[in-house]
Amino acid sequence: MPLASSRHLSILILAIFTSVATLSEVRAQGRSRTVPPDVYFAGFPSLYEGDYVGAAEVFTAANGSAIRSTEGLWIDSICYATMLGECYYQMGNNAKAMESYNKALLIFVQNSNWMLRISIESLGTVGATTNDLRSGVTWGSSGRNTLIGSYPDVYPMMQGNSNAQNQQVARSGGVLMAAQIYPVRGEEVARCIALSIFRRQEILGPISEHDGLSRNVAGILQRRPAPPNHWLGILVDVQHGLALASIGKTDEAVQTLQRSLAVGGQFDHPLTSLALLQLGRIALQQQNYAAAQTYFLEASYAATAFQQYGQVEDALDGLSHCSMITNPGQIPQGLIDMSNWGQLRNLDAIKAKLAMSLAEANVYMDNLQAASASLETARRAINRRSMSNGRIGIRFAYLSALVAYQSGNAATGASSLATAIKANRVASTRIFQTQMTNQLFVANTITERAAQLLFDELLREPTDADWISNPFETLTVLLTPNGDAMENWFNTSVIRKQPELSLELSDRIRRMRFFATLPLGGRLLALRWVLESPENALDTKAKLQRQELLTKFPNLKVLQEEAKNLRAELAQIEIQPDEKEDYVKQRSIVEKMAAVSEQYEMLLSAIALRRTPSEFLFPPLKSTAEIREKLDDTQLVLSFFSTSRAVHAFLFTKKDYLTWTLDNPRETKSKVNNLLKQIGLVKRDSPVQAKQLNDTEWKTTSEELLKLLITKLEAWFLGKLLRISHRAGRCALVCAI
């Protein structure tokens, strides 16, 4: 026999004996190495108590015992990474949470056939559990007519190579790996895969549709890597439905999730709650609030049955959200009944969220005493827990501000709101999505078109739906302009050669910068314009908003009338009265006006924090098409927009346009500064002296500046200007620098 053949035969025999021997040994010893281990589950009580830092420490410690091989981490690490992600998410650290969820799904991608390695013969069939924990639920009962299935806690599963695989290695080369049977808590692994997909979509928002990992996971799950004709496939179907939703295939996601809610259409399983939560999320996005509420309720029952109290929290969030959108003036009976749930004594995070939901509902019912009592209940649950520094604590600060303003305590309200806004700038998913979109665009990871679509969504001005759905998040976004992202939003239109859109975006960006300098991001200004503008200055939508505001808050009208009457009284007195009696009367009226104004501002601030739409009427926003439509043949628009890299110029007439960039922006800026100084505008409040205007130096600088600004126009501009001048004898030039 040739020497090479003898060597291969020896390796093959060694591989077979090693595999058989190791397999027997691990069958005996593996039961003591169940993964995830018991220490991992010790982190869940801390998680449900709102001690996210403590829970993260436990999950980190469990990760220290993770199974590793020459191929890297094994599927037990999916659980450690996912639950660390949950801790980071609840603490408002979106970046660290994404790192953890990404890690979990990358490990899944590497071990995507893990279910095919399960010894399904030992799993048996699914039957009904004898201990249905839904019996303790106090806020309703399921209408789905399903039973809670009984599932094995541990799945026997092989890690390493099978005999056939080791024989192939012996023949072709590679790494010999003995087969090892591990007892795996498979339902927890499956749940964590699903939870990572679910939570990543929540954090990524619209970016998820453009995300490579999301698409990769969806493609893998489409192949349904599970034993054929076995109930394990239902768990994969839920994961697939969640993945489809994450890449924007909503209709397919709904169909997949609906058929995967129960094993054999009869038994709920450990992923039922996540499937129902996703269906609720989709219904909410489609503004089908009745369906969303039903899905969230059913999710809370299924999650309770499997003691998945994190998903009960998610269901509670969804229920509260639906209720505040559809009927903010009424407390849902379910929330009241949940307060009597016996399990709450060990679930401080749910207790805090429930109390805050009741507090907000009471604010909209003008029951401030009950709202304050509910906030005190939440404070006691939050106190001395790390959740006080996370999403729950941020929401508590916002609601404290809302109650304070409603109670007339402006100082406390302003302080609480400032604290909440500062913390939410870090926790806000929309701000995170904007930052991430900008990073992806700069790194050329997404196309200009995809970036533009994402920026359109993330940098939009507030809509009615934004104010009704999440006024606090909307205020945070208004007060946190992302200059780099706005500039790159503009750049996408320049790269794609869309000059009319570029002009519109430049105007939108100016508005956003302006709003960010105003109290509450321009929200108060928007309310004032809706309430105080002349009737003929309002469009139909703004008129309806004014009517709704005056109906919901009748004190606005009362205070407006008081102010009007006081102004009329004041107008009857000379500005500098000669008589002491008139002076005293004038002072009294002014003091009354100040008191009325203070009450009015207090009420506006309270309204600004509520789920009340308001149109942003000023500065007026017009599309380029609308502006061009209003130009006559003798007019043109010349506009400049400065970015960190260039100064862009736009010239539009009714029919033509021209765009260019300035060759030397620094020189242009220097000339502008010189011009302002030469006409006396040294400080913002400096008066312009006539003698400075008579000086000819500024005229020379103006001519030099004009040449810098319009150097690219050359004959085109001069020809147009001459034709306009000859035809009309005048030229209207509108400049916005």
CB atoms within 10 A of CB 383: 12
Query: Which two structure tokens, joined as six digits, stand for 326?
Result: 């559809």
- pLDDT band for position 165 (cuts 50, 70, 90): low
The percentage of the chain sitting over the pLDDT mark of 90, rounded to a whole number, equals 74
Predicted confidence at residue 59, as pLDDT, reads 99
Read off the pLDDT of each residue in 126-154 and give the average, rounded to a whole number. 96
Read off the pLDDT of each residue in 645-674 and give the average, rounded to a whole number. 87
Q: Is the pLDDT of residue 729 over 90?
A: no
- d(CA 390, CA 395) in angstroms, rounded, equals 9
Predicted confidence at residue 308, as pLDDT, reads 98
Predicted confidence at residue 176, as pLDDT, reads 61
Q: Is the pLDDT of residue 8 over 70?
A: no
Which is it for the CA torsion 274, 278, 283, 289, positive or negative? positive
Chain length of the chain:
737
Q: pLDDT tens for residues 677-705?
A: 888 887 777 777 777 778 888 889 988 88
Predicted confidence at residue 681, as pLDDT, reads 83
- pLDDT band for position 1 (cuts 50, 70, 90): very low
Q: Is 426 exposed, middle or buried (0-12, 13-18, 19+ CB in 10 A)?
A: middle
The percentage of the chain sitting over the pLDDT mark of 70, rounded to a whole number, equals 90
Predicted confidence at residue 177, as pLDDT, reads 62
Q: Are strands 657-661 and 732-736 parallel, antiparallel or unpaired?
A: unpaired
Q: pLDDT tens for residues 241-260?
A: 999 999 999 999 999 999 99
259: CB partners within 8 A, 6+ apart: 237
Strand blocks (E) in 54-206: 68-69, 72-73, 127-128, 147-150, 155-159, 180-184
Q: Is the pLDDT of residue 233 over 50?
A: yes
Least Cα distance to 238 among 207, 269, 267, 202 occurs for 269
Question: Long-range contacts of range 730-734, CB-CB < 8 Å, 24 or more positions apart?
Answer: 730/634, 731/634, 731/635, 731/636, 732/634, 732/635, 732/636, 733/636, 733/638, 734/635, 734/636, 734/637, 734/638, 734/639
Predicted confidence at residue 718, as pLDDT, reads 54
8 Å CB contact between 225 and 179 = no
Predicted confidence at residue 693, as pLDDT, reads 78
Least Cα distance to 238 among 187, 167, 166 occurs for 187
Q: pLDDT tens for residues 621-658?
A: 999 999 999 999 888 888 999 898 888 999 988 988 88
Q: pLDDT tens for residues 403-461?
A: 999 999 999 999 999 999 999 999 999 999 999 999 999 999 999 999 999 999 999 99
SS3 state of residue 239: helix
Q: 3-class secondary structure for 614-662?
A: CCCCCCCCCCHHHHHHHCCCCEEEEEEEECCCCEEEEEECCCCEEEEEC
- Phi-psi domain of 639 (left: phi exceeds 0; alpha: psi -120 through 50; beta: other): beta
Q: pLDDT tens for residues 182-216?
A: 899 999 999 999 999 999 999 999 999 999 999 99
8 Å CB contact between 303 and 275 = no
Mean model confidence pLDDT for the chain: 90
Q: Is the pLDDT of residue 735 over 90?
A: no
Q: Angle, to 10 degrees, between the axis of helix 429-442 and the axis of helix 483-495?
A: 50
Predicted confidence at residue 727, as pLDDT, reads 40
Q: Angle, to 10 degrees, between the axis of helix 272-285 and the axis of helix 289-305?
A: 160
Query: Which two structure tokens, joined as six digits, stand for 324?
Result: 């505040």
Which is it for the CA torsion 551, 552, 558, 561, positive or negative? negative
**If you search the block for the tokens 């104004």, which residue do you land on?**
597
Predicted confidence at residue 694, as pLDDT, reads 81
- pLDDT band for position 722 (cuts 50, 70, 90): very low
- For the chain, what is the radius of gyration of the CA atoms? 33
Q: pLDDT tens for residues 408-424?
A: 999 999 999 999 999 99
Question: Long-range contacts of range 556-563, CB-CB < 8 Å, 24 or more positions apart?
Answer: 556/531, 556/600, 556/603, 559/596, 559/599, 559/600, 559/603, 560/531, 560/600, 562/592, 562/596, 563/593, 563/596, 563/597, 563/600
Q: pLDDT tens for residues 500-552?
A: 999 999 999 999 999 999 999 999 999 999 999 999 989 999 999 999 999 99
Q: Is the pLDDT of residue 664 over 90?
A: no
- Output phi, psi for 660, to 5 deg: -165, 170
Predicted confidence at residue 634, as pLDDT, reads 86
Amino acid 345 reads: R
8 Å CB contact between 432 and 199 = no
Read off the pLDDT of each residue in 369-385 and give the average, rounded to a whole number. 96
Q: Which residue has better confidence, 16 or 148?
A: 148
Q: Which residue has better confidence, 347 or 704?
A: 347
Predicted confidence at residue 668, as pLDDT, reads 84
Predicted confidence at residue 721, as pLDDT, reads 52
Task: Write the DSSP symbol of residue 115.
Answer: G
Amino acid 714 reads: E
CB atoms within 10 A of CB 255: 13
Q: Is the pLDDT of residue 712 over 80?
A: no
Predicted confidence at residue 169, as pLDDT, reads 63
List the helix and strand counts (H, then E) for the chain.
Answer: 34, 12
Least Cα distance to 109 among 265, 254, 216, 247 occurs for 216
Q: Is the pLDDT of residue 582 over 50?
A: yes
Query: Which two structure tokens, joined as six digits, stand for 484?
Result: 């780099």
Predicted confidence at residue 724, as pLDDT, reads 44
Predicted confidence at residue 20, as pLDDT, reads 41
Q: Is the pLDDT of residue 14 over 50?
A: no
Amino acid 699 reads: K
- d(CA 152, CA 157) in angstroms, rounded, equals 13
